[in-house]
């Protein structure tokens, strides 16, 4: 039996969800810091994707396209909450002087507490660093793709990543 266009669209969307839902949910969870908000955001992101799937021009990968929708959505949410705890780039000096070394391994004694410690650490980082680390952690994305998502060149991404790692390590130690 031949599939109708609607069925086809539906099965394509199912594959899209199966392949990308973890990445999008994880980004939303760690960016927003709230499981319920992350769940709502993930639903909304995929619903937007479903409605705009025919507008996807194939210039980027589907994963990158979904990330773009997710980043915009999460940033809008955060802005709407009038989050006053955001840092600007002017605070880079704080992280530059942080005691932690980038090349030191991050040691965790209790894996079960890892999620909470990561969340605390990310919450203390500037939005830019948080987003950068979350995107670079996705092995499916190249530096070029991460750069395109955050509006930076691949070289700038590498430079900022170094500082973001340092900041993360410094804050992570404090969560122990």
Partner 1 sequence: MKQQTKLSEEQQQQQHAVEQQTQQQSAREFANAEEMLRYDAAHTTVPPGIAQRLQKSTGQPGAPPPRSWWRNLLGR
Binding site for partner 1 (CB under 8 A): 5-6, 9-10, 13, 17, 21-23, 25-26, 29-30, 35, 39, 42-43, 46-47, 50-51, 102, 105-112, 114-115, 118, 133-134, 136-139, 164-165, 168-169, 172
As to burial, measured by CB atoms within 10 angstroms (0-12 exposed, 13-18 middle, 19+ buried), residue 154 is middle
Minimum CB separation of residue 47 from partner 1 in Å reads 5
Q: Cβ distance 101 to 115 under 8 Å?
A: no
Minimum CB separation of residue 138 from partner 1 in Å reads 8
Distance CA 74, CA 76 (A): 5
Minimum CB separation of residue 16 from partner 1 in Å reads 11
Distance CA 104, CA 97 (A): 16
Q: Which of 69, 66, 74 is nearest to 127 (CA)?
A: 74
Pick the closer one to partner 1 by CB: 42 or 59. Answer: 42
Pick the closer one to partner 1 by CB: 22 or 174. Answer: 22
Which uninterrupted H or E stretch holds 157? Answer: helix 154-174
Pick the closer one to partner 1 by CB: 17 or 87. Answer: 17
Distance CA 45, CA 164 (A): 26
Minimum CB separation of residue 24 from partner 1 in Å reads 9
Pick the closer one to partner 1 by CB: 5 or 58. Answer: 5
């Amino acid at each position: 039996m031949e599939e109708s266009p609607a069925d086809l669209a539906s099965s394509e969307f199912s594959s899209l969800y199966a392949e990308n839902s973890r990445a999008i949910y994880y980004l939303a969870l760690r960016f927003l810091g709230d499981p319920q908000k992350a769940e709502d955001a993930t639903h909304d992101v995929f619903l937007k994707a479903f409605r705009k799937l025919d507008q996807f021009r194939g210039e980027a990968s589907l994963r990158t396209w979904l990330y773009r929708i997710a980043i915009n959505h999460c940033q809008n949410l955060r802005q709407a909450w009038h989050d006053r705890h955001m840092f600007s780039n002017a605070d880079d000096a704080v992280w530059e002087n942080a005691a932690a070394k980038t090349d030191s391994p991050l040691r965790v004694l209790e894996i079960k507490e890892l999620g909470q410690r990561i969340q605390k650490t990310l919450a203390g980082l500037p939005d830019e660093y948080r987003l950068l680390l979350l995107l670079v952690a996705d092995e499916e994305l190249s530096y070029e793709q991460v750069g395109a998502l955050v509006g930076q060149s691949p070289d700038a991404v590498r430079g900022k990543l170094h500082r973001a790692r340092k900041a993360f390590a410094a804050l992570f130690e404090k969560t122990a």
